[in-house]
Structure 1
Amino acid sequence: MTMNESAENYLETILVLSHSLPVVRSVDIANEMGFKKSSVSVAMKNLRENGYILVSDSGFITLTDSGMEIAEMIYERHTLLSTWLETLGVDKEIAAQDACKMEHVISKESFDAIKRHIG
Protein backbone atom coordinates (compact mmCIF):
# COMPACT_ATOMS: atom_id res chain seq x y z
CA MET A 1 0.00 0.00 0.00
CA THR A 2 1.36 3.37 -0.96
CA MET A 3 0.89 5.70 1.97
CA ASN A 4 -1.34 8.51 0.78
CA GLU A 5 -2.78 11.58 2.47
CA SER A 6 -6.02 9.80 3.34
CA ALA A 7 -4.26 6.88 5.02
CA GLU A 8 -1.99 9.27 6.91
CA ASN A 9 -5.03 11.20 8.13
CA TYR A 10 -6.65 8.01 9.38
CA LEU A 11 -3.51 6.98 11.26
CA GLU A 12 -3.14 10.45 12.77
CA THR A 13 -6.80 10.44 13.84
CA ILE A 14 -6.40 7.03 15.51
CA LEU A 15 -3.38 8.38 17.41
CA VAL A 16 -5.18 11.53 18.54
CA LEU A 17 -8.31 9.61 19.58
CA SER A 18 -6.21 7.10 21.51
CA HIS A 19 -5.03 9.97 23.73
CA SER A 20 -8.58 10.85 24.77
CA LEU A 21 -10.55 7.59 24.54
CA PRO A 22 -10.03 4.32 26.39
CA VAL A 23 -10.49 2.43 23.08
CA VAL A 24 -10.78 3.57 19.46
CA ARG A 25 -13.47 2.12 17.21
CA SER A 26 -14.45 2.77 13.59
CA VAL A 27 -17.47 4.77 14.74
CA ASP A 28 -15.18 7.08 16.75
CA ILE A 29 -13.03 7.68 13.68
CA ALA A 30 -16.12 8.29 11.51
CA ASN A 31 -17.47 10.82 14.01
CA GLU A 32 -14.14 12.61 14.36
CA MET A 33 -13.49 12.84 10.63
CA GLY A 34 -17.09 13.40 9.54
CA PHE A 35 -17.10 10.31 7.30
CA LYS A 36 -19.62 7.51 6.87
CA LYS A 37 -18.86 4.42 8.91
CA SER A 38 -18.81 2.36 5.70
CA SER A 39 -16.02 4.52 4.27
CA VAL A 40 -14.04 4.19 7.48
CA SER A 41 -14.55 0.41 7.49
CA VAL A 42 -13.02 0.13 4.00
CA ALA A 43 -10.06 2.27 5.05
CA MET A 44 -9.55 0.24 8.25
CA LYS A 45 -9.57 -2.97 6.20
CA ASN A 46 -6.83 -1.55 3.95
CA LEU A 47 -4.77 -0.29 6.89
CA ARG A 48 -5.12 -3.66 8.66
CA GLU A 49 -4.18 -5.66 5.56
CA ASN A 50 -1.09 -3.50 5.12
CA GLY A 51 0.04 -3.90 8.71
CA TYR A 52 -0.60 -0.38 10.02
CA ILE A 53 -3.36 -1.26 12.51
CA LEU A 54 -4.70 -4.18 14.48
CA VAL A 55 -8.42 -4.68 15.02
CA SER A 56 -9.54 -6.83 17.95
CA ASP A 57 -12.54 -9.15 17.88
CA SER A 58 -14.39 -6.41 19.78
CA GLY A 59 -13.59 -3.88 17.03
CA PHE A 60 -10.98 -1.96 19.00
CA ILE A 61 -8.36 -0.39 16.74
CA THR A 62 -4.70 0.00 17.71
CA LEU A 63 -1.71 1.16 15.73
CA THR A 64 1.10 -1.26 14.94
CA ASP A 65 4.68 -0.03 15.29
CA SER A 66 4.77 1.01 11.63
CA GLY A 67 1.36 2.68 11.91
CA MET A 68 2.46 4.50 15.07
CA GLU A 69 5.64 5.72 13.38
CA ILE A 70 3.68 7.32 10.53
CA ALA A 71 0.96 8.69 12.83
CA GLU A 72 3.51 10.32 15.14
CA MET A 73 5.40 11.82 12.20
CA ILE A 74 2.23 13.35 10.73
CA TYR A 75 1.02 14.56 14.14
CA GLU A 76 4.39 16.18 14.87
CA ARG A 77 4.30 17.95 11.52
CA HIS A 78 0.73 19.12 12.07
CA THR A 79 1.42 20.40 15.57
CA LEU A 80 4.64 22.19 14.69
CA LEU A 81 3.37 23.71 11.44
CA SER A 82 0.06 24.94 12.89
CA THR A 83 1.81 26.46 15.92
CA TRP A 84 4.41 28.10 13.70
CA LEU A 85 1.76 29.59 11.41
CA GLU A 86 -0.11 30.94 14.44
CA THR A 87 3.07 32.65 15.69
CA LEU A 88 3.32 34.29 12.27
CA GLY A 89 -0.12 35.79 12.87
CA VAL A 90 -2.30 33.30 10.99
CA ASP A 91 -5.73 32.68 12.50
CA LYS A 92 -5.76 29.47 14.58
CA GLU A 93 -8.41 27.73 12.45
CA ILE A 94 -6.74 28.65 9.16
CA ALA A 95 -3.33 27.63 10.55
CA ALA A 96 -4.72 24.19 11.47
CA GLN A 97 -6.32 23.76 8.02
CA ASP A 98 -3.15 24.81 6.20
CA ALA A 99 -0.96 22.63 8.43
CA CYS A 100 -3.19 19.67 7.62
CA LYS A 101 -2.45 20.15 3.92
CA MET A 102 1.24 20.92 4.35
CA GLU A 103 2.00 17.99 6.67
CA HIS A 104 1.46 15.50 3.85
CA VAL A 105 3.53 17.11 1.12
CA ILE A 106 6.50 18.67 2.88
CA SER A 107 9.75 16.76 2.49
CA LYS A 108 11.61 15.44 5.50
CA GLU A 109 14.51 17.74 4.59
CA SER A 110 12.32 20.86 4.56
CA PHE A 111 10.47 19.90 7.73
CA ASP A 112 13.73 19.24 9.54
CA ALA A 113 15.04 22.63 8.40
CA ILE A 114 11.90 24.35 9.75
CA LYS A 115 12.30 22.47 13.05
CA ARG A 116 15.92 23.63 13.34
CA HIS A 117 14.99 27.20 12.47
CA ILE A 118 12.14 27.60 14.94
CA GLY A 119 13.38 25.17 17.58
Structure 2
Amino acid sequence: MKIQESGENYLETILLLEMRNGTVRAVDIANELGYSKPSVTRAMGVLKKAGYVDQESYGTIRLTDAGRKRANEVYGRHVLIKEFLMTILSLDAVTAETDACRIEHIVSPLTVERMREVLREKR
Protein backbone atom coordinates (compact mmCIF):
# COMPACT_ATOMS: atom_id res chain seq x y z
CA MET A 1 0.00 0.00 0.00
CA LYS A 2 1.35 3.40 -0.98
CA ILE A 3 1.40 5.96 1.80
CA GLN A 4 1.51 9.70 1.38
CA GLU A 5 3.95 12.28 2.73
CA SER A 6 2.05 12.54 6.02
CA GLY A 7 2.28 8.78 6.53
CA GLU A 8 6.02 8.89 5.93
CA ASN A 9 6.30 11.75 8.43
CA TYR A 10 4.47 9.67 11.03
CA LEU A 11 6.74 6.66 10.43
CA GLU A 12 9.86 8.80 10.68
CA THR A 13 8.57 10.44 13.86
CA ILE A 14 7.79 7.07 15.44
CA LEU A 15 11.31 5.89 14.61
CA LEU A 16 12.92 9.00 16.12
CA LEU A 17 10.73 8.92 19.25
CA GLU A 18 11.51 5.23 19.69
CA MET A 19 15.26 5.95 19.46
CA ARG A 20 14.94 8.81 21.94
CA ASN A 21 12.37 7.41 24.42
CA GLY A 22 12.29 3.65 23.89
CA THR A 23 8.50 3.50 23.62
CA VAL A 24 6.00 5.55 21.65
CA ARG A 25 2.41 6.48 22.41
CA ALA A 26 -0.07 8.46 20.32
CA VAL A 27 0.25 11.41 22.70
CA ASP A 28 4.03 11.44 22.13
CA ILE A 29 3.50 11.68 18.37
CA ALA A 30 0.85 14.38 18.79
CA ASN A 31 3.18 16.44 20.98
CA GLU A 32 6.16 15.98 18.66
CA LEU A 33 4.28 16.96 15.50
CA GLY A 34 1.88 19.48 17.03
CA TYR A 35 -1.17 17.48 15.86
CA SER A 36 -4.31 16.62 17.76
CA LYS A 37 -4.50 13.18 19.36
CA PRO A 38 -7.58 12.23 17.25
CA SER A 39 -5.59 13.05 14.08
CA VAL A 40 -2.77 10.79 15.24
CA THR A 41 -5.23 8.03 16.13
CA ARG A 42 -6.74 8.18 12.62
CA ALA A 43 -3.29 8.08 11.04
CA MET A 44 -2.26 5.10 13.16
CA GLY A 45 -5.34 3.28 11.89
CA VAL A 46 -4.25 3.88 8.30
CA LEU A 47 -0.66 2.82 9.03
CA LYS A 48 -1.86 -0.26 10.91
CA LYS A 49 -4.09 -1.26 8.00
CA ALA A 50 -1.10 -0.81 5.65
CA GLY A 51 0.99 -3.10 7.87
CA TYR A 52 3.45 -0.46 9.06
CA VAL A 53 2.57 -0.27 12.77
CA ASP A 54 1.13 -2.37 15.56
CA GLN A 55 -0.65 -0.74 18.45
CA GLU A 56 -2.10 -2.10 21.62
CA SER A 57 -5.52 -0.65 22.35
CA TYR A 58 -4.71 2.93 23.44
CA GLY A 59 -1.16 1.82 24.17
CA THR A 60 2.32 1.52 22.81
CA ILE A 61 2.88 1.97 19.08
CA ARG A 62 5.50 -0.22 17.44
CA LEU A 63 6.85 -0.25 13.91
CA THR A 64 6.46 -3.54 12.09
CA ASP A 65 9.42 -4.83 10.08
CA ALA A 66 7.92 -3.17 6.99
CA GLY A 67 7.28 0.05 8.93
CA ARG A 68 10.81 0.12 10.32
CA LYS A 69 12.26 -0.44 6.83
CA ARG A 70 10.17 2.40 5.40
CA ALA A 71 10.91 4.73 8.34
CA ASN A 72 14.66 4.08 8.00
CA GLU A 73 14.48 4.81 4.26
CA VAL A 74 12.73 8.12 4.86
CA TYR A 75 15.05 9.10 7.69
CA GLY A 76 18.10 8.11 5.64
CA ARG A 77 16.97 10.33 2.77
CA HIS A 78 16.32 13.15 5.22
CA VAL A 79 19.80 12.96 6.75
CA LEU A 80 21.46 12.72 3.32
CA ILE A 81 19.51 15.64 1.87
CA LYS A 82 20.16 17.83 4.91
CA GLU A 83 23.88 17.08 4.72
CA PHE A 84 23.87 17.78 0.97
CA LEU A 85 22.12 21.11 1.44
CA MET A 86 24.52 22.18 4.17
CA THR A 87 27.73 20.87 2.60
CA ILE A 88 27.21 21.49 -1.10
CA LEU A 89 24.84 24.46 -1.05
CA SER A 90 26.13 25.99 2.22
CA LEU A 91 22.66 26.36 3.71
CA ASP A 92 22.29 26.94 7.43
CA ALA A 93 21.12 24.00 9.56
CA VAL A 94 17.60 25.38 10.13
CA THR A 95 16.91 25.98 6.43
CA ALA A 96 18.49 22.65 5.46
CA GLU A 97 16.34 20.82 8.04
CA THR A 98 13.14 22.48 6.86
CA ASP A 99 13.87 21.85 3.19
CA ALA A 100 15.02 18.26 3.78
CA CYS A 101 11.70 17.51 5.51
CA ARG A 102 9.84 18.36 2.31
CA ILE A 103 12.29 17.13 -0.31
CA GLU A 104 12.67 13.67 1.26
CA HIS A 105 9.16 12.72 0.14
CA ILE A 106 9.40 13.68 -3.53
CA VAL A 107 13.01 13.12 -4.55
CA SER A 108 13.73 10.27 -6.97
CA PRO A 109 16.05 7.39 -6.07
CA LEU A 110 18.35 8.52 -8.88
CA THR A 111 18.67 12.00 -7.38
CA VAL A 112 19.33 10.53 -3.92
CA GLU A 113 22.10 8.35 -5.33
CA ARG A 114 23.65 11.29 -7.18
CA MET A 115 23.56 13.40 -3.99
CA ARG A 116 25.32 10.54 -2.19
CA GLU A 117 27.99 10.41 -4.92
CA VAL A 118 28.57 14.17 -4.85
CA LEU A 119 28.97 14.11 -1.06
CA ARG A 120 31.46 11.22 -1.32
CA GLU A 121 33.47 13.19 -3.88
CA LYS A 122 33.43 16.25 -1.61
CA ARG A 123 34.83 14.34 1.38
Q: TM-score range by the shorter chain?
A: over 0.9
Tell me the secondary structure at the aligned position of residue 84 of structure 1.
helix
Find the counterpart in structure 2 of residue 67 from structure 1.
Answer: 67
Find the counterpart in structure 1 of residue 53 from structure 2.
Answer: 53
Structure 1 stretch displaced more, 92-101 or 55-64: 55-64
Find the counterpart in structure 2 of residue 100 from structure 1.
Answer: 101
Find the counterpart in structure 2 of residue 30 from structure 1.
Answer: 30
State the Cα RMSD in Å: 1.2
Distance in 1 (CA, whole Å) between partners of 2:30 and 2:7 is: 14
Instruction: Count the aligned residue pairs.
Output: 119
Q: Percent identity, aligned pairs only?
A: 43
Q: Which runs of 5+ in 2 are unaligned?
A: none
Q: Which runs of 5+ in 1 are unaligned?
A: none
Q: Which runs of 4+ in 1 moved over 3 A?
A: none
AA in 1 matched with 2:106: V
Distance in 2 (CA, whole Å) between partners of 1:80 and 1:2 is: 23
- How far the C-alpha of 1:58 sits from its partner, in A, is 5.7
| Post-superposition CA distance 1:11-66 (Å, at most 9, x none) | 00000001011210000000000000010000001101111001124610111111
Find the counterpart in structure 1 of residue 3 from structure 2.
Answer: 3
Distance in 2 (CA, whole Å) between partners of 1:39 and 1:3 is: 16
* 8 Å CA contact 2:84, 2:115 repeated in 1: no
